[in-house]
Chain A
Amino acid sequence: MSMNSENRNEENNYVACPQYEAALEDQLQGALRGPEAVKLAGHLATCAGCRGALEDAAVSARLLAIAEPAPDPGAGFSRIVMARIRQELQTNEGKSIWSPFVAVAWRFAATAAFALVLLVSFDLGRHSQWVADQPIVAENRVPEIAPERPSLPASRDDVILMMADTSHGKQ
C-alpha cells in the first residue's frame, strides 16, 4: 500500500499506524486511560495518519448511530418458543438419542443375517454334493467284518435261556 507524506492510501483515506490501531479504537470508545492514553496523545501530536484515521472513525460512529437495533420480539415470544420446544419434544419422544445407533445396529444385523444365509446355502450345496457322492463311496468301500450284534432278549424267559446257554457254552 503506497502512502504519501500525510499517511493516506491510494484511495486518499487516512491510514493509522498498525501498532496504534487497538489504542485508537479504545480512544474512540473513551476507554483509554493512564500511561497508554499519554503515549497515544504523544503519537497523535506527530502522526497525521493516526489523527485522520481517528477522525474518520468518529464519523463512522456517528454514521452507525443512525441504525436502529433489532426490535424487541415482544412479551409473547418466550411463550411461542416454549410451545415450539414442547412440540419438538413430543415429535422426538419416539426418537431416542440411541436411534442412530439402533439404525446402524439393524443394518449390521441384516448384513450378518445375509452373510449367514449365504454361508448356510453354500454349506448345504456342499452337503448335497457329498450326499450325491455317497453311494459311489459306499459301493467302493470294503465291507467291514464285524460280529453280528446279539439281539436283546424280549422277555424274562429269553434272559434265562440265554444265561443257561452261555453258562453251558463256558462249560
Chain B
Amino acid sequence: MAATASALSLAVSRREKGEEERQLVQRAQSGEEAAFEELIRRHQQRVFGLVSGILRRREDVEDVVQQVFLKVFVSLKRFDQRAAFSTWLYKISVNECWDYLRKKKVRPLVYEADLSEEQVSRLDGVVSADQPASSSDRAEARDLLERMMEKLPEQDRELLVLKEVEGFSVQELAEILNLNVNTVKVRLFRARARLMDVYRRRLHSKPEQQVEGKEG
C-alpha cells in the first residue's frame, strides 16, 4: 500500500516536472535566454556524462558539450515537443560525438603495456572486497578498468559506460541510440561478458608475463 502511494507520488512529481520543462522549452523557443540557460543548468551534468561516455579524451568533452548546446539553441524553434526535450537533447549529443570522432578520425587508444600481477590482484581485491578500498587503490583500479575498457569494441564500451557509470536507463539508451529495448539489453549483457573475458585474460596471463619479464 505504502509502495503504491510512493510510486503514485513519484509519477505525479515526474508529470509536474515534465510540464514545467515543457513550459521552460516554450519560453526558450520564444527567445527568452534565461529559460534556455535554465535548461542548460538542468541538463549539463547528464550531457557531460553522455559525451564523456562516448569520447575518451576528457579534454574534448567540454568543447563538444558547448557545441551541443549551441546546436540545440539554433534548432530549438524546430523542436515540436512531441518527444521529451531530454531525449531530443541526448540524440543531438550522440550525433555530435559521432561527428566529432569522424572528423577527428580518433583511433582507439591502445595501451601497449599489459597489467602487472600486482595491479591485477589489486583490481581483483577492489572488485571482490566487501569493505571499501582506500582512495588510492580505487584510483588505481579505475585506471586499470579504463585500460580494460579500451580493449572492448567501441559499441560495448559506450553502452557499459552510459548504463553503469553515467546512469542512463535501458529505455533512455534505446531512445537515444535508436535501438529496440530488447536489443539494448542483449547488447549490454554481451558487453558485460566481453568485459569479463578481458578481465579473466589478465588474470590468466599473470604467470606468462612474469616469465617473459624474467627472461627479458
Contact = CB atoms under 8 A, between A and B. Distances in A.
Given A63-B199, A66-B145, A24 B189 contact: yes
Contact of B49 (A57, A62, A63, A70): A70
Interface in A23-51: 24-26, 28-29
A25 B127 contact: no
Contacts of B52: 70
A22 B185 contact: yes
A59 B189 contact: no
A84 B65 CA distance: 12
A78 B47 CA distance: 12
B48 interface: yes
Interface stretch (B11-19, B101-109, B162-170, B205-213): B162-170
B49 A13 contact: no
Interface in A50-69: 53, 56-57, 59-69
| Range for the number of chain B residues in contact with chain A | 35 or more
B164 A61 contact: yes
Contacts of A112: none
B214 interface: no
Contacts of A69: 49, 165-167
B24 interface: no
A79 B189 contact: no
Chain A contact residues: helix, strand, loop or mixed: helix
B70 A85 contact: yes
Interface in A76-130: 77-82, 84-85, 88
Nearest to A14: B193
B165 A68 contact: yes
Interface in B183-216: 185-186, 188-190, 192-193, 195-197, 199-201
Nearest to A75: B41
A21 interface: yes
A56 to B, nearest CB: 4
Most central of A14, A24, A25, A65 by chain B CB within 10 Å:
A25
Contact of B189 (A57, A62, A82): A57
B193 to A, nearest CB: 6
Of the listed residues A12, A16, A85, the one surrounded by the most CB atoms of chain B closer than 10 A to its CB is A85
B115 interface: no
A11 interface: yes
Contact of A82 (B37, B193, B201): B37
A24 B141 CA distance: 27
Contacts of B185: 21-22, 25-26
B44 interface: yes
A73 interface: yes
B70 A82 contact: no
Nearest to A58: B192
Given A59-B196, A60-B195, A72-B48, 18 more contacts: A11-B197, A11-B200, A13-B196, A18-B186, A21-B185, A22-B182, A25-B170, A25-B185, A28-B189, A29-B170, A53-B193, A59-B127, A59-B199, A70-B49, A71-B48, A73-B45, A81-B66, A85-B69
